[in-house]
């Protein structure tokens, strides 16, 4: 089934849908940027002179129980700035919309980031697949690491617990800032020595929330 759309809220901000193809399990949307110009990422000069176009694909949020793929027509522009090192550049859409080289839209990465943080690799991947947002367990863990931001202020109150890279085989440690309600870091294992070394490097921490299992209690006591 094929349908035609104009501007629509089905796609991230800044895109216009030119054409849609709806199959049993998939929706393919041909989209392009709504802006008539683009900003050179090197010098910041705006340009309207199109040099060429190419097609890239990105997965987006599901619609009506169907997986969605955006077929994005990306324009290359000439940069007219005399001193710019980039004579030709591809238009950018913003990391919160569609980051360069990304295969998923920013809003999709925001959604799948949460089960990856809560469940770990393989369980989160299975859960995301049920939600029609397929992503591998390794990709989920890379996404969580990439979105983990170091706090600008010193840490004071944190939560610490283990999570599964691969359930029953390999586990890591998740550290969260409970004041800012966000992740701080992922440690590569759940060994006492690893947690103790990290805690020793952050003497500003005054309160740690943890469960009663594992060696986190001993790590906290040894680090203080």
In a domain, 40, yes or no: yes
24's CB contacts (< 8 A; 6+ apart) are 66
Q: Are 25 and 62 in contact (CB under 8 A)?
A: no
Q: What is the mean pLDDT of residues 165-188?
A: 82
Neighbours of 172 (CB within 10 A): 17
Q: What average pLDDT does the chain have?
A: 84
Q: Residue 165 sits in which domain range? A: 148-224
Residues 133 and 195 in one domain: no
pLDDT digits (tens, 9 = 90+) for 20-55: 999 888 999 999 999 999 999 888 899 999 999 999
In a domain, 183, yes or no: yes
The pLDDT value given to residue 138: 82
141 pLDDT higher than 90: no
- Domain boundary among the residues 58, 75, 94 is at 94
pLDDT digits (tens, 9 = 90+) for 57-99: 999 999 888 899 999 999 999 998 888 888 999 999 988 899 8
Measured distance between the N- and C-terminal CA atoms of the chain, rounded to whole angstroms = 64
Q: Tokens for 175?
A: 């550290």
Residues 141 and 153 in one domain: no
Residues 9 and 66 in one domain: yes
In a domain, 99, yes or no: no
How far apart (Å, rounded) are the C-alpha atoms in residues 78 and 45?
10
Residues 167 and 221 in one domain: yes
């Amino acid at each position: 089934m094929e349908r035609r759309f104009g501007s629509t809220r089905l796609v991230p901000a800044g895109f216009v849908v030119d054409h849609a193809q709806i199959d049993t399990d998939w929706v393919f949307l041909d989209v392009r940027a709504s802006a008539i110009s683009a900003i050179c990422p090197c010098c910041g000069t705006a340009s309207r002179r199109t040099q060429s176009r190419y097609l890239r694909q990105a997965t987006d949020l599901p619609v009506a129980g169907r997986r969605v793929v955006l077929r994005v027509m990306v324009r290359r522009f000439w940069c007219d700035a005399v001193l710019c090192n980039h004579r030709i550049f591809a238009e950018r859409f913003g990391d919160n919309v569609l980051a360069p080289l990304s295969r998923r839209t920013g809003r999709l990465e925001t959604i799948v980031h949460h089960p990856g943080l809560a469940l770990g690799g393989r369980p989160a991947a299975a859960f995301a697949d049920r939600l029609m947002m397929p992503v591998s367990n390794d990709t989920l863990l890379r996404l969580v690491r990439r979105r983990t931001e170091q706090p600008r202020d010193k840490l004071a109150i944190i939560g610490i617990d283990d999570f599964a890279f691969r359930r029953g085989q390999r586990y890591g440690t998740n550290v969260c800032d409970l004041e800012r309600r966000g992740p701080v870091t992922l440690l590569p294992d759940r060994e006492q020595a690893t947690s103790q070394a990290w805690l020793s490097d952050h003497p500003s921490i005054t309160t740690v929330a943890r469960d009663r299992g594992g060696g986190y209690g001993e790590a906290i006591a040894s680090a203080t």
